[in-house]
Amino acid sequence: MAKEDFYKLLGVDKNASDAEIKKSYRRMAMKFHPDRNTDNPEKAEENFKAIKEAYEVLSDQKKRSAYDQFGHAGVDQTMGGGGHGAENFSDIFGDVFGDIFGGSGGGGGGRRRSNVQAGADLRYNLELTLEEAVGGTEATVKVPVLVACGECNGSGAKKGSNPVTCSSCQGHGQVRMQQGFFSVQQTCPTCSGTGKQIKDPCRKCHGQGRVQENKTLSVKVPAGVDDGDRIRLSGEGEAGVNGGPSGDLYVQVQVKNHDIFTRDGANLYCEMPIGFPTACLGGELEVPTLNGKVKLKIPAETQTGKMFRLRGKGVKPVRGGATGDLLCKVQVETPVRLTKEQKELVEQLKASLSGGGKQHSPQEHSWTDGVKSFFDKLTG
Protein backbone atom coordinates (compact mmCIF):
# COMPACT_ATOMS: atom_id res chain seq x y z
CA MET A 1 0.00 0.00 0.00
CA ALA A 2 1.38 3.40 -1.01
CA LYS A 3 2.36 5.67 1.85
CA GLU A 4 0.62 8.99 2.27
CA ASP A 5 2.63 12.16 1.66
CA PHE A 6 4.45 13.15 4.85
CA TYR A 7 3.63 16.85 4.48
CA LYS A 8 -0.03 16.00 4.04
CA LEU A 9 0.05 13.73 7.09
CA LEU A 10 1.31 16.57 9.27
CA GLY A 11 -0.95 19.15 7.63
CA VAL A 12 1.85 21.49 6.51
CA ASP A 13 3.15 22.68 3.14
CA LYS A 14 6.58 21.91 1.68
CA ASN A 15 7.95 25.30 2.67
CA ALA A 16 7.01 24.88 6.35
CA SER A 17 9.66 25.84 8.88
CA ASP A 18 11.02 23.46 11.53
CA ALA A 19 8.96 25.24 14.17
CA GLU A 20 5.76 24.86 12.12
CA ILE A 21 6.45 21.16 11.57
CA LYS A 22 7.13 20.63 15.26
CA LYS A 23 3.99 22.52 16.29
CA SER A 24 1.81 20.58 13.85
CA TYR A 25 3.29 17.28 15.00
CA ARG A 26 2.56 18.02 18.64
CA ARG A 27 -1.05 18.78 17.75
CA MET A 28 -1.42 15.62 15.66
CA ALA A 29 0.29 13.49 18.32
CA MET A 30 -2.25 14.61 20.89
CA LYS A 31 -5.11 14.01 18.46
CA PHE A 32 -4.15 10.45 17.52
CA HIS A 33 -2.62 9.22 20.77
CA PRO A 34 -4.13 5.76 21.56
CA ASP A 35 -4.97 6.81 25.11
CA ARG A 36 -7.28 9.48 23.72
CA ASN A 37 -8.94 7.18 21.20
CA THR A 38 -10.12 4.26 23.29
CA ASP A 39 -13.01 3.53 20.92
CA ASN A 40 -10.56 2.41 18.18
CA PRO A 41 -7.05 2.14 19.66
CA GLU A 42 -5.70 0.00 16.77
CA LYS A 43 -6.54 2.64 14.16
CA ALA A 44 -5.25 5.38 16.45
CA GLU A 45 -1.94 3.57 16.92
CA GLU A 46 -1.61 3.13 13.15
CA ASN A 47 -2.18 6.86 12.60
CA PHE A 48 0.12 7.69 15.49
CA LYS A 49 2.97 5.65 14.00
CA ALA A 50 2.41 7.24 10.59
CA ILE A 51 2.68 10.82 11.85
CA LYS A 52 5.66 9.81 14.00
CA GLU A 53 7.42 8.47 10.90
CA ALA A 54 6.56 11.64 9.00
CA TYR A 55 7.96 13.81 11.75
CA GLU A 56 11.16 11.75 12.04
CA VAL A 57 11.87 12.47 8.38
CA LEU A 58 10.78 16.10 8.14
CA SER A 59 12.50 17.12 11.39
CA ASP A 60 15.86 15.84 10.11
CA GLN A 61 17.36 18.14 7.47
CA LYS A 62 19.23 15.35 5.60
CA LYS A 63 16.23 13.03 5.54
CA ARG A 64 13.92 15.86 4.55
CA SER A 65 16.21 16.81 1.67
CA ALA A 66 16.30 13.19 0.46
CA TYR A 67 12.54 12.92 0.78
CA ASP A 68 11.99 16.14 -1.17
CA GLN A 69 14.19 14.78 -4.01
CA PHE A 70 13.23 11.10 -4.15
CA GLY A 71 10.05 10.76 -2.09
CA HIS A 72 9.61 7.71 0.16
CA ALA A 73 12.28 5.79 -1.75
CA GLY A 74 14.88 8.29 -0.61
CA VAL A 75 14.29 7.67 3.09
CA ASP A 76 13.02 4.07 3.43
CA GLN A 77 16.58 2.74 3.83
CA THR A 78 17.45 5.32 6.48
CA MET A 79 14.40 4.73 8.66
CA GLY A 80 15.30 2.58 11.64
CA GLY A 81 14.27 2.01 15.20
CA GLY A 82 15.94 4.11 17.85
CA GLY A 83 17.91 6.46 15.59
CA HIS A 84 17.85 10.21 15.52
CA GLY A 85 14.15 10.20 14.77
CA ALA A 86 13.36 8.25 17.94
CA GLU A 87 15.21 10.82 20.02
CA ASN A 88 13.28 13.62 18.38
CA PHE A 89 10.04 11.83 19.02
CA SER A 90 10.89 11.48 22.69
CA ASP A 91 11.67 15.19 22.88
CA ILE A 92 8.37 16.13 21.29
CA PHE A 93 6.45 13.65 23.39
CA GLY A 94 7.99 15.25 26.45
CA ASP A 95 6.97 18.67 25.15
CA VAL A 96 3.39 17.48 24.76
CA PHE A 97 3.17 16.29 28.33
CA GLY A 98 5.01 19.42 29.47
CA ASP A 99 2.20 21.49 28.00
CA ILE A 100 -0.37 19.44 29.90
CA PHE A 101 1.33 19.18 33.27
CA GLY A 102 3.20 22.48 33.32
CA GLY A 103 6.73 21.09 33.10
CA SER A 104 9.30 19.90 30.62
CA GLY A 105 9.63 16.27 29.62
CA GLY A 106 13.40 16.57 29.65
CA GLY A 107 13.82 14.65 26.38
CA GLY A 108 17.17 13.81 24.85
CA GLY A 109 20.24 15.91 24.45
CA GLY A 110 21.77 14.91 27.80
CA ARG A 111 20.14 17.73 29.73
CA ARG A 112 20.69 17.40 33.47
CA ARG A 113 17.90 17.95 35.95
CA SER A 114 18.98 20.37 38.65
CA ASN A 115 19.08 18.73 42.07
CA VAL A 116 18.97 22.09 43.86
CA GLN A 117 15.54 22.69 45.39
CA ALA A 118 14.17 25.70 47.23
CA GLY A 119 12.77 25.12 50.72
CA ALA A 120 9.03 25.14 51.33
CA ASP A 121 7.18 28.22 52.56
CA LEU A 122 5.57 27.92 55.99
CA ARG A 123 2.57 29.57 57.67
CA TYR A 124 2.13 30.47 61.31
CA ASN A 125 -1.17 31.65 62.79
CA LEU A 126 -0.60 34.56 65.18
CA GLU A 127 -3.53 35.48 67.43
CA LEU A 128 -3.71 39.13 68.52
CA THR A 129 -6.03 41.23 70.62
CA LEU A 130 -7.74 44.16 68.91
CA GLU A 131 -5.54 46.54 70.90
CA GLU A 132 -2.37 44.79 69.66
CA ALA A 133 -3.57 44.78 66.05
CA VAL A 134 -4.52 48.47 66.11
CA GLY A 135 -1.52 49.74 68.06
CA GLY A 136 1.13 47.33 66.79
CA THR A 137 3.23 44.99 68.88
CA GLU A 138 6.24 42.67 68.85
CA ALA A 139 5.48 38.98 69.25
CA THR A 140 7.75 36.02 69.88
CA VAL A 141 6.81 32.86 68.00
CA LYS A 142 8.18 29.32 68.00
CA VAL A 143 8.01 27.54 64.65
CA PRO A 144 8.91 23.89 63.96
CA VAL A 145 10.99 24.05 60.78
CA LEU A 146 13.44 21.96 58.76
CA VAL A 147 16.90 23.53 58.87
CA ALA A 148 20.19 22.52 57.26
CA CYS A 149 21.93 19.81 59.28
CA GLY A 150 24.88 21.32 61.13
CA GLU A 151 26.71 18.01 61.31
CA CYS A 152 27.03 17.55 57.52
CA ASN A 153 26.35 21.15 56.40
CA GLY A 154 23.27 19.96 54.54
CA SER A 155 25.03 17.43 52.29
CA GLY A 156 23.46 14.38 53.96
CA ALA A 157 26.81 12.58 53.87
CA LYS A 158 28.84 11.62 56.94
CA LYS A 159 31.40 14.19 57.97
CA GLY A 160 34.56 13.65 55.91
CA SER A 161 32.69 12.06 52.99
CA ASN A 162 30.72 13.40 50.03
CA PRO A 163 27.76 12.26 47.95
CA VAL A 164 28.69 10.42 44.75
CA THR A 165 27.16 10.51 41.28
CA CYS A 166 24.13 8.21 41.00
CA SER A 167 25.05 5.01 39.19
CA SER A 168 21.57 4.56 37.72
CA CYS A 169 21.06 7.94 36.02
CA GLN A 170 24.70 9.08 35.85
CA GLY A 171 23.79 12.27 37.67
CA HIS A 172 20.94 13.30 35.36
CA GLY A 173 18.23 12.70 37.97
CA GLN A 174 16.06 11.01 35.34
CA VAL A 175 16.09 7.70 33.51
CA ARG A 176 14.60 6.79 30.14
CA MET A 177 12.40 3.72 29.78
CA GLN A 178 11.28 2.21 26.46
CA GLN A 179 7.57 1.37 26.36
CA GLY A 180 6.37 0.00 23.06
CA PHE A 181 7.08 2.36 20.21
CA PHE A 182 7.93 5.36 22.36
CA SER A 183 10.24 6.13 25.28
CA VAL A 184 9.27 7.72 28.59
CA GLN A 185 11.55 9.72 30.85
CA GLN A 186 10.90 9.56 34.58
CA THR A 187 12.50 10.49 37.89
CA CYS A 188 15.33 8.18 38.81
CA PRO A 189 14.08 5.77 41.52
CA THR A 190 17.57 5.27 42.94
CA CYS A 191 18.36 8.90 43.82
CA SER A 192 14.81 10.34 43.73
CA GLY A 193 15.88 12.82 41.08
CA THR A 194 18.83 14.38 42.93
CA GLY A 195 21.50 12.80 40.71
CA LYS A 196 23.52 11.89 43.81
CA GLN A 197 23.84 8.85 46.06
CA ILE A 198 24.94 8.92 49.68
CA LYS A 199 27.01 5.86 50.47
CA ASP A 200 27.77 6.83 54.08
CA PRO A 201 24.84 8.91 55.46
CA CYS A 202 25.12 11.44 58.25
CA ARG A 203 24.04 9.93 61.59
CA LYS A 204 22.26 13.10 62.70
CA CYS A 205 20.02 13.69 59.67
CA HIS A 206 20.15 10.11 58.30
CA GLY A 207 21.17 11.35 54.89
CA GLN A 208 18.36 13.87 54.51
CA GLY A 209 20.57 16.94 54.85
CA ARG A 210 17.94 18.64 57.05
CA VAL A 211 16.72 18.24 60.62
CA GLN A 212 13.67 19.64 62.36
CA GLU A 213 14.14 22.28 65.00
CA ASN A 214 11.93 24.73 66.88
CA LYS A 215 13.02 28.15 65.71
CA THR A 216 12.25 31.14 67.95
CA LEU A 217 11.57 34.33 66.02
CA SER A 218 10.62 37.89 66.88
CA VAL A 219 7.80 39.27 64.72
CA LYS A 220 7.26 43.01 64.48
CA VAL A 221 3.53 43.57 63.94
CA PRO A 222 2.89 47.00 62.39
CA ALA A 223 0.04 49.12 63.73
CA GLY A 224 -3.26 48.78 61.91
CA VAL A 225 -3.06 45.14 60.77
CA ASP A 226 -6.40 43.42 60.37
CA ASP A 227 -7.72 39.89 60.56
CA GLY A 228 -6.38 37.89 57.58
CA ASP A 229 -3.32 40.08 56.94
CA ARG A 230 0.00 38.30 56.40
CA ILE A 231 3.50 39.29 57.50
CA ARG A 232 6.29 37.79 55.41
CA LEU A 233 9.58 36.80 57.02
CA SER A 234 11.92 36.20 54.10
CA GLY A 235 14.17 33.13 54.37
CA GLU A 236 12.63 31.89 57.62
CA GLY A 237 10.85 28.92 56.04
CA GLU A 238 12.27 25.44 55.49
CA ALA A 239 15.90 25.08 54.41
CA GLY A 240 16.51 24.28 50.75
CA VAL A 241 17.91 21.00 49.45
CA ASN A 242 21.45 20.70 48.08
CA GLY A 243 22.19 24.36 48.68
CA GLY A 244 18.84 25.67 47.50
CA PRO A 245 17.43 28.87 49.04
CA SER A 246 15.27 28.70 52.15
CA GLY A 247 11.55 29.30 51.87
CA ASP A 248 9.66 32.12 53.57
CA LEU A 249 7.54 32.19 56.72
CA TYR A 250 4.12 33.82 56.42
CA VAL A 251 2.65 34.95 59.72
CA GLN A 252 -1.14 34.96 59.37
CA VAL A 253 -2.85 37.47 61.65
CA GLN A 254 -5.98 36.39 63.53
CA VAL A 255 -7.65 39.07 65.66
CA LYS A 256 -9.68 37.93 68.67
CA ASN A 257 -13.25 39.12 69.17
CA HIS A 258 -13.43 42.16 71.44
CA ASP A 259 -15.90 42.53 74.30
CA ILE A 260 -16.88 46.07 73.30
CA PHE A 261 -15.71 46.95 69.80
CA THR A 262 -16.25 45.48 66.35
CA ARG A 263 -13.89 46.51 63.55
CA ASP A 264 -14.87 47.15 59.95
CA GLY A 265 -11.90 48.41 57.96
CA ALA A 266 -10.71 51.65 59.54
CA ASN A 267 -13.85 52.16 61.64
CA LEU A 268 -14.79 50.75 65.03
CA TYR A 269 -18.37 50.10 66.15
CA CYS A 270 -19.93 49.61 69.57
CA GLU A 271 -23.40 49.47 71.09
CA MET A 272 -24.00 51.93 73.91
CA PRO A 273 -26.88 51.20 76.33
CA ILE A 274 -28.40 54.25 78.02
CA GLY A 275 -31.07 54.44 80.72
CA PHE A 276 -34.62 55.56 80.06
CA PRO A 277 -34.26 58.84 82.00
CA THR A 278 -31.08 59.77 80.09
CA ALA A 279 -32.77 59.03 76.78
CA CYS A 280 -35.70 61.28 77.77
CA LEU A 281 -33.90 64.14 79.45
CA GLY A 282 -30.42 63.94 77.92
CA GLY A 283 -27.11 63.83 79.74
CA GLU A 284 -23.40 63.16 79.42
CA LEU A 285 -21.73 59.72 79.24
CA GLU A 286 -18.17 58.45 79.37
CA VAL A 287 -17.44 56.41 76.24
CA PRO A 288 -14.46 54.02 76.03
CA THR A 289 -12.03 54.21 73.09
CA LEU A 290 -8.81 52.31 72.41
CA ASN A 291 -6.94 55.42 73.54
CA GLY A 292 -8.87 56.12 76.72
CA LYS A 293 -12.23 57.58 77.75
CA VAL A 294 -14.04 60.49 76.12
CA LYS A 295 -17.22 62.31 77.15
CA LEU A 296 -20.23 62.18 74.85
CA LYS A 297 -23.21 64.51 75.16
CA ILE A 298 -26.57 62.76 74.80
CA PRO A 299 -29.33 65.10 73.65
CA ALA A 300 -32.83 64.84 75.11
CA GLU A 301 -35.37 62.54 73.41
CA THR A 302 -32.66 60.24 71.99
CA GLN A 303 -34.12 57.13 70.36
CA THR A 304 -32.81 53.56 70.13
CA GLY A 305 -30.66 53.15 67.03
CA LYS A 306 -29.27 56.68 67.08
CA MET A 307 -25.64 56.60 65.86
CA PHE A 308 -23.00 58.90 67.32
CA ARG A 309 -19.72 59.36 65.44
CA LEU A 310 -16.47 60.10 67.26
CA ARG A 311 -14.11 61.21 64.50
CA GLY A 312 -10.53 59.97 64.50
CA LYS A 313 -11.14 57.42 67.27
CA GLY A 314 -10.96 54.42 64.97
CA VAL A 315 -7.98 52.71 63.31
CA LYS A 316 -5.04 54.04 61.30
CA PRO A 317 -4.86 51.54 58.36
CA VAL A 318 -1.56 49.67 58.01
CA ARG A 319 -1.41 50.49 54.28
CA GLY A 320 -1.96 54.21 54.82
CA GLY A 321 -4.96 56.46 54.67
CA ALA A 322 -6.99 58.51 57.11
CA THR A 323 -7.71 57.26 60.61
CA GLY A 324 -11.21 55.86 60.91
CA ASP A 325 -14.00 56.78 63.34
CA LEU A 326 -15.70 55.21 66.34
CA LEU A 327 -19.43 54.83 65.80
CA CYS A 328 -21.60 54.31 68.91
CA LYS A 329 -25.12 52.98 68.44
CA VAL A 330 -27.59 53.84 71.19
CA GLN A 331 -29.69 51.12 72.83
CA VAL A 332 -32.32 52.54 75.22
CA GLU A 333 -32.64 50.17 78.16
CA THR A 334 -36.10 49.54 79.62
CA PRO A 335 -36.03 49.56 83.44
CA VAL A 336 -36.38 46.11 85.07
CA ARG A 337 -37.18 44.79 88.59
CA LEU A 338 -39.28 47.84 89.49
CA THR A 339 -40.53 48.31 93.03
CA LYS A 340 -44.22 48.90 93.75
CA GLU A 341 -43.58 52.61 94.18
CA GLN A 342 -41.66 52.80 90.89
CA LYS A 343 -44.44 51.00 89.05
CA GLU A 344 -46.94 53.50 90.41
CA LEU A 345 -44.77 56.35 89.19
CA VAL A 346 -44.55 54.77 85.73
CA GLU A 347 -48.35 54.41 85.69
CA GLN A 348 -48.67 58.08 86.52
CA LEU A 349 -46.22 58.94 83.73
CA LYS A 350 -48.13 56.76 81.32
CA ALA A 351 -51.40 58.48 82.15
CA SER A 352 -49.79 61.86 81.75
CA LEU A 353 -48.25 60.97 78.38
CA SER A 354 -51.43 59.40 76.98
CA GLY A 355 -53.21 62.70 77.31
CA GLY A 356 -50.77 64.32 74.90
CA GLY A 357 -51.65 62.07 71.96
CA LYS A 358 -49.15 61.75 69.13
CA GLN A 359 -46.80 64.47 70.30
CA HIS A 360 -45.11 62.25 72.92
CA SER A 361 -44.91 59.02 70.87
CA PRO A 362 -44.99 59.95 67.16
CA GLN A 363 -43.36 56.74 65.92
CA GLU A 364 -45.71 54.51 67.93
CA HIS A 365 -48.81 56.33 66.65
CA SER A 366 -47.49 56.39 63.08
CA TRP A 367 -46.94 52.63 63.16
CA THR A 368 -50.38 52.03 64.74
CA ASP A 369 -52.06 54.14 62.05
CA GLY A 370 -50.21 52.21 59.35
CA VAL A 371 -51.35 48.86 60.76
CA LYS A 372 -54.95 50.09 60.94
CA SER A 373 -54.80 51.28 57.33
CA PHE A 374 -53.37 47.91 56.24
CA PHE A 375 -56.24 45.96 57.82
CA ASP A 376 -58.84 48.40 56.46
CA LYS A 377 -57.56 47.66 52.92
CA LEU A 378 -57.77 43.91 53.52
CA THR A 379 -61.34 44.05 54.79
CA GLY A 380 -62.44 46.72 52.30
Report all structural domains of the chain as residue ranges with CATH numbers, in order of start: 6-101 (1.10.287.110), 121-154+207-257 (2.60.260.20), 262-333 (2.60.260.20), 340-379 (no CATH)
User: How far, in Å, CA of 321 to CA of 327, rounded?
Assistant: 18
Residue 351: predicted pLDDT: 87
Average pLDDT, integer, range 222-230: 94
- Range from 11-20, 221-230, 307-316 carrying the lowest mean pLDDT: 11-20
Helix, strand, coil: what percent of the chain each, to 5?
Answer: 30, 25, 40
Q: Estimate to the nearest angstrom the gap between the alpha carbon of 178 and the chain centroid.
A: 38
Classify 235 as helix, strand or coil.
coil
- Range from 165-174, 212-221, 231-240 carrying the lowest mean pLDDT: 165-174
User: How far, in Å, CA of 41 to CA of 62, rounded?
Assistant: 33
Beta strand spans in the chain (E): 122-128, 137-148, 164-165, 174-179, 182-187, 196-197, 210-221, 230-233, 249-255, 262-264, 267-275, 283-289, 292-298, 307-310, 326-333
Percent of the chain with pLDDT over 70: 85
Residue 23: predicted pLDDT: 87
212: closest CA among 155, 152, 143? 143
Residue 98: predicted pLDDT: 42
Q: Which residue has the higher pLDDT, 21 or 40?
A: 21
Highest mean pLDDT among 98-112, 231-245, 347-361: 231-245
Average pLDDT, integer, range 103-131: 71
Residue 316: predicted pLDDT: 94
Q: Is the confidence at residue 81, as pLDDT, over 80?
A: no
**Predicted model pTM:** 0.58
Overall residue count recorded for the chain in this entry: 380
Q: Is the confidence at residue 89, as pLDDT, over 60?
A: no
Q: How far is CA 76 from CA 29, 60, 69, 71, in A?
A: 22, 14, 13, 9
Q: Which residue has the higher pLDDT, 36 or 170?
A: 170
